[in-house]
Chains A and B, each alone.
Chain A
Amino acid sequence: MSEAVLPTRTPAFEARIRKRYAAERRFKLAGLLSILFSIAVLAFLLVTMASNGISGFKRVELAVEIDFPEAGITGDPAVLAQPNAIQSLEAQGLPAVIEFYATKSLGEAGAQQINSEAWRDVAKMIIADPSILGSKSELMVPASHKLAAAYSGDGQVDLQPLANQLKAEGKLQKNFDFGFLSRSDATDPQLVGIWGALKGSMLTMLITLAFAFPIGVLAALYLEEYAPKNRWTDIIEVSINNLAAVPSIIFGLLGLAVFLTLFPSYRSAPLIGGLTLALMTMPVIVIAGRNAIKAVPPTIRDGALALGASPIQVVFHHVLPLALPGILTGTIIGMARALGETAPALMIGMRAFVATPPDGFTSPATLLPVQIFLWSDEIDRGFVERTSAAIIVLLMFLLVMNGLAIYLRNRFEKKW
């Protein structure tokens, strides 16, 4: 007597369900692919920079055999220990000596391709190790940037045969250039280094930290622990949240209009750069700080208050030490962002050619990202590799900073 039950799994139903499951798989695949695309772009970027950058740490050098005793260059250890040792070697005729031996070992055409500043490198080698003055030795000196370009297969065509010949003789080599980390900006890609920019960045970051960290932490403490709920507090909160999202170039305009009007003689100094970046970093630290302070459980505060601590003592003796790891993590992330910032520094004049590393907070300086930007404008092929090498250094710094932030987070993360 039973009625015929319609089968649920009709072919049409099966088809619909297959379609829905296929849509499901496609959707999931699209999600995975979109993540993988981002990561692939990142990987491509890193690989491009790394493959260019590795050769940016190297430079083309010529082998020159120099007989120092014969040339009569002497090195009194007392003289060589002095700061003006390079000048004293120059006065002894070191540049001419190198020219002479370059002609001897490389021939007339080759000698012209020694870099004009090569003698400085030789002078530094002598100062580092005076014993080479005692004998005949083969030294690697930087080649001219024309020959360097010819070595890599571009540049002037008429230099190619010379480059190939010297390469075959083993006198022209591409060697690791330790000086890249210790020299400063120059017009010749063979002679540039990033120490000046690196030092400028470090000094600027010190100023940024010195201003942004205390102000940020104190503001976070005030807003989270003491601020009454009123209009003023609302205005402060809104302005902090907005500052965190204001484009960085606007901070550059602020630095230009305010700081450079107040201190016109400190143009492109780390002091001004640091202050500008500090205003930019401070909201980031406040927001991170408030989250860290919020994470400290109220029982800690109640316990301290119950034992008779004053509100200030509660915060400075109990809440702040417990929130500090979180605050530090946020600070490091904010500093990493500031380290990579270029636009504000361009606004306040830190894009000048600075050939000597800054010796203080008020001397002209450039920053690592700005140096990258300046080099990226150079058309010389040699600068492309140098720029990538500078980018590698910058990314390394960021990696270390972010690694430190992650370490701090893991090390001090607490479940209450």
Chain B
Amino acid sequence: MSPAILLLLALGLGLAGWLAARARAWSFRRAMPDRRIASLPSYYGWYVALWVVIPAILFILAWGFIAPVLVTQSVLADPAAAHLPVFGLQRETILAEARAVASGAANGVFNPLARELVEPYRAALMRMNAIGIAATLVVAFLGGAWSFTRLRPDFRARTRVERIVMLILLLASLVAILTTLGIFLSLVFETIRFFGMIDPISFLFGTHWGPDPMSSVEAADPSRFGAIPLFWGTIYIGAIIAMVVAIPLGLMSAIYLTQYASPAWRKWLKPALEILAGVPTVVYGYFAALTIAPAIRDMAVSIGISNASSESALAAGLVMGVMIIPFVSSMADDSIAAVPQAMRDGSLAMGATTNETIRRVLVPAALPGIVAGVMLAISRAIGETMIVVMAAGYAAKLSGNPLEAMTTVTVQIVAMLTGEASFDHPATLSAFALGFVLFLVTLGLNIVALRVVKRFREAYE
């Protein structure tokens, strides 16, 4: 069953309710030409329409969760389901297969048991479809009828509608809190499960990373879950190599754009720089893996380093740094522009050259903003996934040699969750623990940076 059909049904009924209620309001107006009715006729329409659509949508959402359960129950009650294996993955597979065929998603079945279940499934789906449509109609109709009977010439439809609209606006802005909460809870929940199997100390301070997704769940070896090499790789690539590229280049770009470039140049250079930020990270990753990493290896070999790897921290870090340049540059741009012109003029009037003014006056004055921008840039670099997945490699190493392959937190999250291990395995759950660490670190960097930016902005206003 497609919820889209139910949704269209609800919207259609809402339209009918809108038209009916508006007509009703006009009839009030005609009946009493000398008195004004409390609201414009269209508000009567909106009032009834909202009362039709909102209960119906709530019902459809609830139905979306209940219906599959009911379908499965009624299929299991069917005699054909008696032969099913009692429990486990096989049973689920057979049911899923039968469901796919019955709903038209697949053409044939593989398992003979599933074939017998197709018909009961089809019947149950049909039944649930019919019940769903009927119930949606009933809910929508009840809502519409109740609200319709309340319509009177002195009924303040507009206030009611506006109250509902306010509620919807409030709910929309609560989605952000819900998302944050959802992220936090889902990460915490799985992390706690992980720490039930692996001791947090050996995770946070261990120096050997090599989870074996194929080992049995109970026999997980805590000494293989030491995340220090991942944290080091993340910091080395994202906060050191990438920033060595991004901070000077980004800062100098911002200075040139704000202080030296003529407006005509600026008009061309700034968007060109911004294109860099718009290129998808998978493209950068491909570029790093295909072009930059082999070039770096060849260069290393030519200067006599024979064991240079084709995946290297340097390749990933350099490309990531280039990706971050426009980000640093626009943050620096903003905070330099926020320095009062009088400070700049004062310095120039004392006879300082432009670059002396910039280095001794503008940059120190804008420093809090620049530092905040750099913190945001680091937070973005350590959360970046595709470039490191494609160019940095999977080998967890505690090494200072930028030519070696290194791995980061995000790479391991991808590796752990796209592997073959089951969902209860510590190797899979470790991805959530890593995600949680990443979330907390980036959150901390962001909060501090946003605070600094805010305080700094207010300083000159």
Chain A interface residues toward B at CB < 8 A: 20-21, 23-24, 27-28, 30-35, 37-39, 41-42, 45, 48-49, 214-216, 218-219, 221-223, 226-227, 235-236, 238-243, 245-251, 253-254, 256-258, 262, 265, 279, 282-283, 286, 310-312, 316, 336-337, 339-343, 346-347, 351, 360-361, 363, 369-370, 372-373, 376, 384, 387, 391, 394-395, 398, 402
Contact = CB atoms under 8 A, between A and B. Distances in A.
A340 B276 CA distance: 13
Contact of B383 (A21, A32, A247, A387): A247
Interface in B170-215: 170, 172-177, 179-180, 182-183, 186-187, 189-190
Residue from A253, A336, A343, A398 with most neighbouring chain B CB atoms (10 Å): A253
Contacts of A49: 283, 287
A340 B281 contact: yes
A310 B160 CA distance: 12
A45 B287 contact: yes
A266 to B, nearest CB: 11
A38 B322 contact: yes
B170 A222 contact: yes
Given A20-B353, A38-B273, 17 more contacts: A20-B356, A27-B358, A28-B354, A34-B252, A35-B269, A48-B290, A218-B172, A218-B173, A242-B447, A245-B380, A247-B379, A247-B384, A250-B183, A311-B162, A346-B385, A361-B4, A372-B283
B256 A32 contact: yes
A130 to B, nearest CB: 28
Given A35-B253, A395-B283, A402 B278 contact: yes
A336 B432 contact: no
A236 B176 contact: yes
A92 B356 CA distance: 83
A126 to B, nearest CB: 25
Given A219-B172, A373-B386, A249 B354 contact: no
Contact of A235 (B105, B177, B442): B177
Interface string B264-279: 0000010011011011
B289 A376 contact: yes
Nearest to B163: A312
A283 B359 CA distance: 36
13 contacts: A28-B354, A34-B253, A38-B326, A48-B287, A49-B283, A216-B172, A236-B173, A248-B385, A249-B413, A257-B186, A279-B179, A340-B281, A398-B280
A-B pairs with the 3 shortest C-beta distances? Answer: A247-B383, A340-B280, A31-B256
A39 to B, nearest CB: 5
A246 B354 contact: no
B286 A391 contact: yes
Contacts of A239: 176-177, 179-180
A323 B56 CA distance: 31
Contacts of A316: 165
B390 A373 contact: yes
Contact of B413 (A42, A253, A311): A253
Contacts of A336: 278
Given A242-B447, A343-B385, A215 B414 contact: no
A48 B383 contact: no
Contacts of A398: 278-280
A236 to B, nearest CB: 5
B177 A253 contact: no
A405 B169 CA distance: 26
B9 interface: no
Given A28-B355, A242-B443, A253 B180 contact: no
Interface in B382-410: 382-386, 389-390, 410
Nearest to A312: B162
B252 A31 contact: yes
B408 to A, nearest CB: 11
A395 B175 CA distance: 31
A23 B169 CA distance: 56
A248 B387 CA distance: 13
Given A21-B353, A387-B286, A395-B283, A245 B175 contact: no
B260 A31 contact: yes
A258 B385 contact: no
Interface residues of B, number: 91
A249 B410 contact: yes
A279 B172 CA distance: 12
Nearest to A42: B276
Contacts of B252: 30-31, 33-35
Interface in B277-306: 278-287, 289-291
A250 B96 contact: no
Residue from B68, B286, B354 with most neighbouring chain A CB atoms (10 Å): B286
Nearest to A227: B173
Contacts of A246: 183, 383, 439, 442-443, 446
B450 interface: yes
Nearest to B379: A245
B452 interface: no
Interface string B1-22: 0101000000000000000000
A343 B410 contact: yes
B353 A253 contact: no
Nearest to B168: A218
Contact of A394 (B170, B187, B280, B358): B280
B417 interface: yes
Residue from A248, A254, A370 with most neighbouring chain B CB atoms (10 Å): A254
Nearest to B65: A262
Nearest to B96: A265
Nearest to B272: A39
B115 interface: no
B172 A222 contact: yes
A372 B282 contact: yes
Contacts of B386: 342-343, 369, 373
B190 A257 contact: yes
B166 interface: yes
A35 B269 CA distance: 8
Contact of A283 (B68, B176, B417): B176
A288 to B, nearest CB: 14
Contacts of A257: 186-187, 189-190, 432
Contacts of B169: 218-219, 221-222, 226
B264 to A, nearest CB: 14
A30 B277 CA distance: 21
A48 B287 CA distance: 8
Contact of B280 (A20, A223, A250, A341): A341
Residue from B173, B386, B418 with most neighbouring chain A CB atoms (10 Å): B173
A347 B412 CA distance: 12
B279 A395 contact: yes
A24 to B, nearest CB: 5
B383 A236 contact: no
Contacts of A346: 385, 414, 417-418
